[in-house]
């Protein structure tokens, strides 16, 4: 091949490379991460300020276990029949070592709708009334909260809170105590299963009102700008509202919905 043809080919390659559109992915990935991180930090700071862990620690597990319609009849009643247990019942089952994952809050965006996924775990200490033996358990779960910007009759946008609940599939209670007496294994299994039934409602009853308070204090303009970061680089219209999205958003447009 002559040197002249080599020069023509080289110039053609350079021209085609310069004509390629600039790839936005590195910059967009950074912007999306920063936006999600900002909202996650706001939520984490609000939960700490409102002492979410302290509220969870004060949950009345025993009364909920004994009074819940989901608990097998008599599962705890036979224990409460003991006089010594009646005297100790206020501190016979305690929540300790609460770990709310402030740094791992996951955010999802879709137009003017978003959700937060918050994981937490804690220990449960149950003291048996007849021998004071401590049964140690560990509970884990994820709380999901959904919000969107809603337009009122005057065209103003306010933050509306949607579904807030502990995801049932995320709930798990594990028995940590080993070498339990064989005659107690059936009771402990029932205790674990019934804790899995009452804990989600109790945790949501404490954390969901805090989330509502935290999000009500957010500046709507700031929230709109953070939510719009996902849309504007793709030329999407940020004016669409999430009216009617009561639980699940519609399918996400490609390249817009991002989850940490």
Pairing assessment for the beta strands 106-110 and 113-127 based on DSSP bridges:
antiparallel
Whose CA is closest to 148, among 32, 250, 7?
Answer: 250
Bridge partners for 149 per DSSP: 159
Per-residue pLDDT tens over the stretch 215-247: 888 776 666 666 555 444 433 433 333 333 333
Instruction: Find out whether 44 and 145 touch, Cβ atoms under 8 Å.
Output: no
- Domains belonging to the chain, first-starting first, are 26-234 (3.15.10.10)
pTM over 0.75: no
Per-residue pLDDT tens over the stretch 121-173: 999 999 877 677 889 999 999 999 998 878 777 877 777 889 999 999 999 99
Instruction: Find out whether 195 and 139 touch, Cβ atoms under 8 Å.
Output: yes
3-state SS string for 31-51: HHHHHHHHHHHHHHHHHHHCC
Q: How far is CA 41 from CA 107, 119, 121, 204, 222, in A?
A: 11, 14, 19, 20, 14
Q: What is the pLDDT of residue 144?
A: 96
């Amino acid at each position: 091949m002559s040197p002249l043809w080599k020069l023509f080919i080289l110039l053609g390659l350079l021209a085609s490379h310069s004509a390629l559109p600039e790839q936005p992915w590195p910059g967009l990935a950074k912007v999306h991460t920063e936006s999600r991180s900002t909202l996650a930090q706001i939520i984490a700071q609000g939960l700490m300020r409102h002492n979410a862990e302290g509220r969870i620690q004060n949950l009345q597990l025993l009364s909920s276990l004994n009074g819940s319609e989901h608990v097998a009849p008599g599962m705890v009643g036979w224990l409460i029949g003991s006089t010594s247990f009646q005297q100790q019942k206020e501190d016979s089952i305690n929540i300790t070592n609460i770990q709310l994952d402030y740094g791992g809050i996951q955010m999802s965006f879709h137009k003017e709708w978003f959700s937060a996924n918050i994981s937490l775990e804690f220990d449960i200490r149950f003291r048996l009334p007849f021998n004071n033996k401590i049964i140690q358990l560990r509970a884990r779960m994820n709380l999901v909260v959904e919000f969107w910007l809603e337009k009122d009759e005057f065209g103003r946008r306010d933050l509306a809170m949607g579904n807030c609940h502990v995801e049932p599939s995320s709930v798990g209670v594990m028995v940590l105590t080993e070498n339990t007496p064989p005659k107690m294994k059936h009771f402990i299994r029932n205790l674990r299963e019934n804790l899995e039934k009452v804990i989600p409602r109790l945790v949501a009853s404490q954390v969901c009102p805090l989330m509502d308070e935290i999000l009500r204090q957010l500046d709507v303009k700031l929230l709109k700008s953070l939510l719009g970061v996902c849309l504007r680089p793709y030329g999407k219209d940020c004016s669409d509202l999430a009216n009617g999205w009561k639980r699940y958003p519609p399918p996400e447009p490609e390249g817009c919905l991002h989850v940490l």
